[in-house]
């Protein structure tokens, strides 16, 4: 969660200017995680991060930065919870990965390119991007992220 909070803060700071940004993610993963999945339940990382934040949501979202975080989390869970806002940890089902957060916070002039080398992770990422095409207008690339970013420099904005 801390990594994604930092990502949101950086995006917001960079978006203070009107000029476009191009976000690259070299290790995108699935881009969206089902917390009911056996692996997520086994690791249980969400219990010490986002679940604790939800428990104190009302106090945290007095700060606009946290309000934006929770809005993104609500958006990621809207279909599963059938609620506008997520206040019950038991109803937390999905957590966006970095590509999911970027897709939610990007502006029309911004671009993003995400790379994933692992075939199954790439397939899940591509499926997610296709399913959420209204938000995701970036590129999903199956391949080595570092080599891919080097080929993309300097980015076209």
Query: What's the pLDDT tens digit per position in 7-36?
Result: 999 999 999 999 999 999 999 999 888 988
At residue 153, does pLDDT exceed 60?
A: yes
Backbone angles phi, psi at 122, to 5 degrees: -60, -45
Residue range 98-129, pLDDT digits in tens: 998 998 899 999 999 999 999 999 999 998 88
Where does residue 5 rank: exposed (0-12), middle (13-18), buried (19+ CB within 10 A)? Answer: middle
Most confident of 25-29, 35-39, 86-90: 25-29
- Which helix (H) or strand (E) segment is 52 a member of? helix 50-55
Backbone angles phi, psi at 116, to 5 degrees: -145, 130
Q: Domains of the chain (ranges plus CATH)?
A: 1-31+97-157 (3.40.50.150), 34-96 (no CATH)
From the list 114, 149, 147, 144, the residue with the least C-alpha distance to 129 is 114
């Amino acid at each position: 969660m801390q990594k994604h909070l930092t990502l949101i803060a950086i995006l917001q700071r960079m978006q203070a200017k009107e000029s476009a940004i191009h976000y690259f993610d070299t290790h995108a993963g699935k881009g969206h995680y089902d917390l009911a999945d056996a692996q997520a339940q086994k690791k249980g990382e969400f219990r010490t991060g986002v679940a604790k934040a939800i428990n104190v949501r009302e106090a945290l979202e007095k700060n606009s930065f946290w309000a934006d975080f929770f809005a993104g989390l609500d958006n990621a869970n809207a279909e599963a919870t059938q609620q506008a806002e997520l206040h019950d940890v038991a109803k937390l089902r999905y957590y966006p990965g970095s590509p999911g957060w970027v897709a939610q916070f990007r502006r029309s002039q911004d671009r993003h390119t995400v790379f994933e080398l692992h075939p199954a992770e790439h397939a899940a990422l591509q499926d997610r991007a296709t399913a959420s095409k209204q938000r995701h207008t970036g590129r999903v690339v199956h391949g080595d992220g570092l080599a891919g970013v080097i080929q993309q420099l300097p980015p076209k904005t």
